[in-house]
Amino acid sequence: MSNTAKAFADGKAFIPFITCGDPDLETTGRIVREMEKNGADLVELGIPFSDPTAEGPVIQGANIRALSGGVTTDKIFGFVEELRKDVKIPLVFMTYANVVFSYGIERFVQRCAEVGIDGIILPDVPFEEKEEFAPTCRSHGIDFISLIAPTSENRIETIAGSAEGFLYIVSSLGVTGVRSEIKTDIGAMTASVRKYSKVPCAVGFGISEPEQAKKMAGLSDGCIVGSAIVKIVAEHGRESAPFVGEYVKRMKDAVREA
């Protein structure tokens, strides 16, 4: 079993996201440790990008704050190395193709393996472009995580059939951000995914409330929350960690009931 799949070994997983360096890496470090302490099963670490086209205003704001705070890919590798001295849960990077490509795909993935990253999610790399990245990841034991969208339909078989680690199910059309209601038939999507794939699947995009988390985790193997957490950071800045911890605990409790 791959490291990222271990996040699903003890039941439904709760997967929080955080943008590295928003507002600085010391704060991100405290937040990740709070997440682990309060039951997070895996953490998605965002490497900021200047023009994140799959993100809504909340995470766009986090990217800008992090970059203007001076965070870089190299500083984030150093940060993860430090984090790995005590953080045990799986960690995956979420970033954009150009961040990896400009660093050098081989060099980037090798650094990931050295510092203890378990997977990579690139929202602007669909199945058609995956071969540029996935084989390098595979050779370093890192999962290249694929996404499935409400519009995937006939593509689900191909994508799910070659999935590694876990599958990221995008709950709704549009960009990341809190939604009051998720209208997609998630049950039908996960049923279709499970027909072609053995890896676990987690639902993300738009989830913020414990009730939604419980429902989405009930229909899949776990849920992913980004914007709702980034909002807490935007509000509390360097004092965010305890607030995020409390939120993660509430969400994980809800997921346990699923």
Partner 1 sequence: MSNGRFGIHGGQYIPETLMNAVIELEEAYNRYKDDPQFNAELTTLFNEYAGRPSRLYYAEKLTKTLGGAKIYLKREDLNHTGAHKINNVLGQALLAKKMGKTRLIAETGAGQHGVATATAAALMGMECVVFMGEEDTKRQALNVYRMKLLGSEVVPVTTGTATLKDAVSEAMREWTSRISDTHYCLGSVMGPHPFPTIVRDFQAVISKEIKQQILEKEGRLPDAVMACVGGGSNAIGTFYHFINDPSVRLIGCEAAGRGVDTFETAATIATGKLGIFHGMKSYFCQDEYGQIAPVYSISAGLDYPGIGPEHAYLHDTGRAEYVPVTDEEAVNAFEFLAKTEGIIPAIESAHAVAHAMKIAPEMDKDKIIVITISGRGDKDCAAIARYRGENIYE
- Min dist. Cβ of residue 82 to partner 1 (A): 19
Query: Which of 199, 172, 240, 248 is closest to 16 using CA atoms?
Result: 248
Q: Are strands 167-170 and 43-46 parallel, antiparallel or unpaired?
A: unpaired
- The alpha carbons of the chain give a radius of gyration, in whole angstroms, of 16
Collapsing DSSP to helix, strand or coil, 121 comes out as strand
- Min dist. Cβ of residue 114 to partner 1 (A): 18
The separation between the first and the last C-alpha atoms of the chain, rounded to the nearest angstrom, is: 24
CA–CA dist 227, 56 (Å, integer): 8
Judged by CB, which is closer to partner 1: 9, or 188? 188
Query: Which of 220, 217, 203, 213 is closest to 248 using CA atoms?
Result: 213
- Min dist. Cβ of residue 135 to partner 1 (A): 13
Helices in 116-174 by DSSP H: which ranges?
134-139, 156-161
Judged by CB, which is closer to partner 1: 14, or 96? 96
Candidate ranges 72-80, 83-91, 134-142, 185-193; the one touching partner 1 (CB under 8 A): 72-80
User: Binder to partner 1 among 175, 201, 229, 233 (CB under 8 A)?
Assistant: 175
User: Binder to partner 1 among 7, 20, 137, 159 (CB under 8 A)?
Assistant: 159
Judged by CB, which is closer to partner 1: 39, or 46? 46
User: Binder to partner 1 among 51, 88, 181, 198 (CB under 8 A)?
Assistant: 51
The pattern of x and - marking residues 113 through 152 that bind partner 1 according to CB under 8 A reads ----------xxxxxxx-xx-------------xxxxxxx
**CB 13, CB 222: distance < 8 Å:** yes
- Residue 68 found at the interface with partner 1 (CB under 8 A): no
**CB 93, CB 121: distance < 8 Å:** yes
Six-digit token string for 191:
């049923």
- Min dist. Cβ of residue 172 to partner 1 (A): 8
Judged by CB, which is closer to partner 1: 170, or 219? 170
- Min dist. Cβ of residue 117 to partner 1 (A): 17
Judged by CB, which is closer to partner 1: 145, or 255? 145
- Matching residue, tokens 């870089």: 72
Judged by CB, which is closer to partner 1: 56, or 200? 56
Which positions from 189 through 228 interact with partner 1, judged by CB under 8 A? none
CA–CA dist 81, 170 (Å, integer): 30
Query: Which of 229, 202, 237, 204 is closest to 11 using CA atoms?
Result: 202
Residues making contact with partner 1 (CB under 8 A): 49-51, 53-54, 56-57, 60, 67, 72-74, 96-103, 123-129, 131-132, 146-155, 159, 170, 173-175
